[in-house]
Homo-oligomer: A and B are copies of this chain.
Amino acid sequence: MNIVILGGGGVVGQKLAKNLTARGHLKGKTIGKISLADIVEPPTTQGCDSIVCDITDPASVARAIPQGTDVIYLLAAIVSAHAEAEFETGMQINLHGTMNVLERARALGTKPTLVFSSSIAVFGGEAPNPITDHVILNPQTSYGTQKAIGEMLVQDYSRKGFIDGRAFRLPTISVRPGKPNRAASSFMSSILREPLNGQEAICPVGPDFPHYYLSPRMCAENLVRGAEVAEEKIGLNRAMIMPGKIWTIQQLIDAMTAVAGPAPAKLIRWESQPEIERIVMGWRWDIHAGKSLELGLAADESFEDNIRYYLEDDLPRT
């Protein structure tokens, strides 16, 4: 059982690698090799190889996915704001890169399992609430468009028998470790992470703001379970919403207080940021996973779990 994780240097890729290494087996077979591939060499993780791969280059993709690869995780992408600012870069990496990986997987001739990370960014525009697996994809970003197209291709390559593909629309991941970034969703982790680290953070929306969340630990676990699902159970659509739960900002903060005491919440400053507010108010949150729950994937039990996982897995050691 040889596994390649494209985007293996990212938060989810790294957690997935640790999960797989700890398990030691996948789809009923002992894991031989795990390769982490990314545009810059991924941090070395025990039991994993790392390789530099530019998914816009078919030859580079072929080197990263050698013959004998059984499972491919396609997590590599540039994020929403980047793909929106640089249309051509987004098309090259998120669309043509995905096509290169699918063509390589097909060329193997062995029908590898391929797990594709899509996003709830595929929903938007005129899609009616509640958002379910049966609602039209109407992305309002180029990133969401490119992910939606990736889903369609994974579906058709699977239908044709070239791959055994599965595509999961990831919720917003929180508590995300590391530093704040320029993503509009950055605050959905930083209002928890920074206070838990003893630092101030700014919340640009009100306490009633709802969103659809999953912890990084559970996301990695779902990507493992997503690979393990028996193909005959998947049905006629390979793309589905990954389980998450809907929480308000106040519920996030209450969970932090329940787990870590009252001090961290006092480090949150409420400060309106109309530009951020304008973007995130357009996002969809009334999202309800269906098929993925039936197939054995799961959401976090409560947001207190998300907080605990951050403290256990990611809190910087001082």
Contacts and interface: CB of A to CB of B under 8 A. Distances in A.
A47 interface: no
Interface residues of A, number: 27
Interface in A193-226: none
Given A126-B133, A160-B87, A237 B152 contact: no
Contacts of A127: 134
A145 B160 CA distance: 12
Contacts of A244: none
A9 B159 CA distance: 32
A148 B149 CA distance: 8
Interface in A136-172: 136-140, 142, 145, 148-149, 152-153, 155-156, 159-160
Nearest to A150: B149
A137 B134 contact: no
A155 B139 CA distance: 9
A235 interface: yes
Contacts of A178: none
Contact of A134 (B126, B139, B155): B126
A135 interface: yes
Nearest to A128: B134
Given A125-B237, A149-B149, A237-B125, A156 B138 contact: no
Given A124-B236, A160-B87, A135 B138 contact: no
A304 B152 CA distance: 38
Interface of A: 87, 124-128, 133-140, 142, 145, 148-149, 152-153, 155-156, 159-160, 235-237
